Amino acid sequence: MAEEASLELEDNTEPKSKKKLILFGVIGVVLITIIAVTAWMLLSSDDAPVANPGEEVVAEQAVSSGKEAFYAAMPRPFLFNLSDNGRTRLVEIKVQLMVRGTDDDTLIKKHIPLIEDALLTTFSSADIQKMSSPAGKDELRLLALRNVQNTLQPVTGRTVVEKVLFTGFVMQ
Maximum separation of any 2 CA atoms in the chain, in Å = 103
Q: How far apart are CA 110 and CA 13, in angstroms?
A: 81
Q: What is the mean pLDDT of the chain?
A: 80
Q: Out of 3.30.479.30, 3.40.710.10, 3.20.20.70, 3.30.70.3190, select the CATH number for domain 55-171.
A: 3.30.479.30
User: Can you tell me whether residue 49 is helix, strand or coil?
Assistant: coil
Where does the pLDDT of residue 8 fall: very low under 50, low under 70, confident under 90, or very high at 90 and above?
low
Tell me 75's DSSP state: S
Whether the model clears a pTM of 0.75, i.e. scores above it, the answer is: no
Residue 143: burial class (beta carbons within 10 Å; 0-12, 13-18, 19+): middle
User: Residue 40: is its pLDDT beyond 70?
Assistant: yes
User: Can you tell me whether residue 114 is helix, strand or coil?
Assistant: helix
Pairing mode of beta strands 78-84, 87-100: antiparallel
Element (H, E) at 127: none
Domains of the chain by residue range: 1-48, 55-171
Q: How far apart are CA 144 and CA 169, in angstroms?
A: 14
| 126-172 per-position pLDDT tens digit | 888 888 888 989 999 999 999 999 999 999 888 889 999 999 988 88
Contact 145, 127 (CB under 8 A): no
| 65-119 per-position pLDDT tens digit | 578 888 998 999 988 888 878 888 888 999 999 999 888 888 989 999 999 999 9
DSSP state string for 116-139: HHHHHHHHHTS-HHHHTSHHHHHH
User: Residue 37: is its pLDDT beyond 90?
Assistant: no
